[in-house]
């Protein structure tokens, strides 16, 4: 995709897709499929958080959650660091983010791996060692800005950039593999890849990502993705949840999100189905939305849904997307930083 306008539009659609999926899954997150069916039926649009939604209790339809907020946080740090995320700055930002959430009485707090890493930092463990146990999807849910800021044509360099963003909280093969898969699919889509091509790169990136960080036992994400992309088309979305899983484990939720992408449904319908499956619905839908937006561009998303998203939430997605794309062509270890993005 050589057209600068197309690149921008697809990058913004990716960031927007993440937020749309997050907001669709907001009222159903952590609920069972039965509870979702009883309270909402199949999600086809934004709805208020119902009485059985405890994490996002009281939030109005269209509200985002931690998935988008932390992706925005990562984007800001990438821009501030001119393509790099300082681990100490990242740890401080995460600690301040959770403190702010607690101060306003929110139960939408850090995920298990991120919380454990932050607590280790507060306990005096060096930042460089804090993420040695992180295997859940926290890194993958907020990785989209890395996919926007970096091209994946050199996969070794690209996965190294993903790994840098994972070190503080998810410095494990599982954590890095999941984040690498999502980021690579996003980056490929922004550069004009089809769904199939983006999924090809996701598998390759997950395979390489699994070699990074600390080894912890768990199903191989690349192998599961390779199998799921062939198995998923033609299946009911509920089968994906039953066979692959939608928990916070990277080897479940990341694979489920990309299996939904592989089904080749309408993008908006896909996000509604993701939000209806139970489990970590907001994160599965957010990751799927980021990839589908990158591949399909702005036509993927209903204009009224995008309008509602921005009316309900104060999101600097346009500004951050422009700033991240300013990094995209030069983010190489030996490249000097352009002054306009400092």
Query: Is a pLDDT exceeding 90 seen at residue 114?
Result: no
> Is residue 254 one of the residues assigned to a domain?
yes
> Is residue 194 one of the residues assigned to a domain?
yes
> Is residue 341 one of the residues assigned to a domain?
no
* Least confidently predicted of 7-16, 83-92, 325-334: 325-334
How high does pLDDT run on average in the chain? 91
Average pLDDT over residues 245-259: 97
Rounded distance, CA 82 to CA 161, Å? 12
| pLDDT tens profile 261-301 | 999 999 999 999 999 999 999 999 999 999 999 999 999 99
The pLDDT assigned to 333 comes to 42
Share above pLDDT 90 across residues of the chain, in percent, rounded to a whole number:
76
The pLDDT assigned to 128 comes to 77
Tell me the CATH number at 301: 1.10.4080.10
Tokens of 221: 């994400």
> Is residue 340 one of the residues assigned to a domain?
no
> Is residue 283 one of the residues assigned to a domain?
yes
Quote the domain boundaries for residue 275: 4-331
- Per the listing, tokens 């422009």 go with 322
Query: Is a pLDDT exceeding 60 seen at residue 138?
Result: yes
> Is residue 342 one of the residues assigned to a domain?
no
Contact of 253 with 223, CB cutoff 8 Å: no
> Is residue 247 one of the residues assigned to a domain?
yes
Question: Domain count of the chain?
Answer: 1
Average pLDDT over residues 105-130: 75
| pLDDT tens profile 6-30 | 999 999 999 999 999 999 999 999 9
Tokens of 183: 């980021």
Rounded distance, CA 52 to CA 37, Å? 12
Contact of 271 with 288, CB cutoff 8 Å: yes
Contacts of 53 (CB under 8 A, 6+ apart): 26, 27, 28, 29, 31, 59
> Is residue 311 one of the residues assigned to a domain?
yes
């Amino acid at each position: 995709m050589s057209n600068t306008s197309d690149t921008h539009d697809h990058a913004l659609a990716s960031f927007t897709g993440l937020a749309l999926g997050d907001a669709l899954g907001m009222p159903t997150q952590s609920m069972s499929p039965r509870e979702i069916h009883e309270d909402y039926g199949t999600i086809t649009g934004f709805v208020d958080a119902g009485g059985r939604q405890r994490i996002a209790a009281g939030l109005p339809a269209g509200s985002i959650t931690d998935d988008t907020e932390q992706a925005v946080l990562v984007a800001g740090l990438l821009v501030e660091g001119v393509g790099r995320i300082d681990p100490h700055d990242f740890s401080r930002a995460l600690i301040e983010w959770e403190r702010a959430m607690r101060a306003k009485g929110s139960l939408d707090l850090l995920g298990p791996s991120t919380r454990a890493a932050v607590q280790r930092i507060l306990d005096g463990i060096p930042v460089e060692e804090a993420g040695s146990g992180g295997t859940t999807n926290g890194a993958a849910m907020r990785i989209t800005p890395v996919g926007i800021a970096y091209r994946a044509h050199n996969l070794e360099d690209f996965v190294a950039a993903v790994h840098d963003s994972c070190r503080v909280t998810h410095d494990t093969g599982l954590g890095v593999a999941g984040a690498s898969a999502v980021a690579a699919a996003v980056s490929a889509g922004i550069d004009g890849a089809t769904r199939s091509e983006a999924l090809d790169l996701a598998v390759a990136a997950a395979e390489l990502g699994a070699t990074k960080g600390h080894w912890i036992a768990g199903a191989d994400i690349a192998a599961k993705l390779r199998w799921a992309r062939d198995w998923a088309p033609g299946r009911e979305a509920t089968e994906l949840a039953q066979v692959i899983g939608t928990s916070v484990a990277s080897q479940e939720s990341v694979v489920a999100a990309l299996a939904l992408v592989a089904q080749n449904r309408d993008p908006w319908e896909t996000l509604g189905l993701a939000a209806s499956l139970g489990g970590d619905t907001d994160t599965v839908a957010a990751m799927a939305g980021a990839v589908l937006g990158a591949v399909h561009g702005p036509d993927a998303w209903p204009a009224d849904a995008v309008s509602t998203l921005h009316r309900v939430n104060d999101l600097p997605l346009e500004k951050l997307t422009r700033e991240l794309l300013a990094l995209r062509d030069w983010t190489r270890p030996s490249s000097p930083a352009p002054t306009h993005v400092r």
